[in-house]
Amino acid sequence: VSVTGACGYIASWLVKLLLQKGYIVKATVRDPRAEKYPNTTFRWVDVRDVANAHIYAFENPSASGRYCLVGSVVHSSETLEILHKLFPELKLPKECADDNPPSMKYQVFKKRAESLDIKFTPLDVSLKDTVESLKEKNLVSF
């Protein structure tokens, strides 16, 4: 499970809970003063899709084992580009942290997850809803 903003109050508790439940957690944190973004690729999945997958797996008698849930695989620059289009007032890094070519994207085999009839939420919708939710709860301000 990948948790972004893992040093925040809510996310830190989420990380602890996931670790206690035996999940492998990849946590990311961002220095709000950072002027450069990391040259890395992230796997994204909307938490609502994960919740639905749990329900579908529970309701589907033929579902068993593990399901890899990845809605999108994108480079940091693409994520920031989406966020900038949605929230131009956000102060986001515009330059990569290194001069290397962008880290490679890769494909994730989704067929098993799709067997649960999961329709992944587009990344732009997920990011928009996430930021709006955080603003609504006064967890971020800009």
Which tens digit of pLDDT belongs to each residue from 72-121? 999 999 999 999 999 999 888 888 888 888 877 777 777 888 888 888 99
Nearest-angstrom CA–CA distance, 76 and 39: 7
Q: What is the CA radius of gyration of the chain?
A: 16
Q: Are strands 95-96 and 36-37 parallel, antiparallel or unpaired?
A: parallel
| pLDDT given at position 103 | 78
Residues with Cβ < 8 Å from 13, sequence gap 6 or more? none
Taking 70 as the threshold, does the pLDDT of residue 32 lie above it?
Answer: no
Please report, for the chain, the start and end positions of each structural domain, with discontinuous segments joined by +.
1-30, 33-126
Residue labelled with tokens 């909307």: 46
Under 8 Å between Cβ of 71 and 123: yes
pLDDT higher at 49 or 112: 49
Q: What is the CA 65 to chain-centroid distance, rounded?
A: 23
DSSP string for residues in 49-72: HHHHHHHHHHH-TT--S-----SE
Closest C-alpha among 32, 104, 42 to residue 72: 42
d(CA 17, CA 66): 19
- Judging by beta carbons within 10 Å of its beta carbon (0-12, 13-18, 19+), is residue 136 exposed, middle or buried? exposed
Q: According to the per-residue pLDDT averaged within each range, which of 25-34, 55-64, 107-116 is highest?
A: 55-64
